[in-house]
Chains A and B, each alone.
Chain A
Amino acid sequence: MGKETSKANDKKLRNIKFRNRLGNLIPKIMIAPTFTVSLVCVYGFILWTIWISFTSSKILPKYDFVGFEQYNILFTQEPRWWVASLNLFIFSGLFIAICIALGLTLAIFIDQRLRGEGVFRTIYLYPMALSFIVTGTAWRWIMNPSLGLERLVQQLGFSDFTFRLLVESNVAIYAVVIAAVWQSTGFMFALFIAGLRGIDNSIIKAAQIDGASLKKIYLRIIIPSLRPVFLSAVIILLHLSIKCFDLVMALTSGGPGYSTDMPATFMYAFAFNRGRLAFGAASAVIMFITVMAIIIPYLYTELKGTRNAR
């Protein structure tokens, strides 16, 4: 009898062991497809693009090796790349500064417990639900040089008013900034209002008891405590700027000429329209390195932060 129970126990134990082993395997099996896809379609593809950027491929990939030649052409012989880079610089600077300033201001306004807060929120944020192509199409019409804003203001009585951002190549990039700011300000507003609502009230109460004015409380206590939000905001907007492709295509198609080209549209134009694979790949690699140089330190501090918090 004792023997039998021990046998049965043995069997039970083996069963449990087997199930445990299987149970430990299932999570890995479930992750495997995503892992494989990521390995190939993210990491593998990045390596492939880097590799191609060191070849002389034109329309079809060619696996020779020409060293840094494409990069050399990109930086020393291609004025359009410098236009694109400079545009990215101007665009991201203005886009980030204006979006954050407007978004923060609106967040502070709405944080004063305004009536109809929900309505304000909905209106400020709706452009984020639209495609950049829709935004670009709308603003292209608004900034139309003959029938758009110019006509409107002239009809209001300012007959000398001109508004020709879209057709003058030295200022067309500002048109892209205007449309982008319109679309993304609400996003910044949402980030900042979440930040403001997360601030501990007791600090503010204490400052009030000490007789600090509202302005002082904002400048000295509230805004400094939003530092992490500012950091995320800058990173997000920078990331959006580098990836900015659709808006330029819809608003200016990179023109007039190539005056509103950005790295993202540059890469597309050379790799897909002109059939210069290796050259396009080289510009993509530069974009990639730029993004990584921004994201990796940020992620590193973020992940370290959450781990310490836990």
Chain B
Amino acid sequence: MEFISFKFFAAPRMIRVAQTLAVLACGQAGLDSEGTMAVELAVSEAVTNIVKHAYPGADRGFGLLRIKLLKDQVVVEVADWGGGYEDVLLSPGPSGQTASSGYGLLMIRKFMDEVSFRKDREMNILTMRKFLPAPR
């Protein structure tokens, strides 16, 4: 089930809007507090990367936040139409990168269960999955 599809202008104030939507989705999915904190953090990092890095120069573009709630996981897609930062995502760590982008993507990898990146025509799409704890 798609819970949210939210296209936003890549402005700093949108970071907290995206965080709030992510927390609402996690509540709907039944994620525990630790999982919710992880998803909120990952969304914050991904949207911050778009705001800070996707559109260098004067012309700021758009981002897209899509959250799907599956039976056993929350799937978050954060996309943009900018220059892309897959090289940063796929690198092993923050050395040699700016603190915000390097640590941000490192944090996404550490807090989410699966992270992948793909390009779809002009879109750069970061997909992050958080699995729900198995029922006891």
- A and B form one complex: no
* Chain A residues close to B by CB (< 8 Å): none
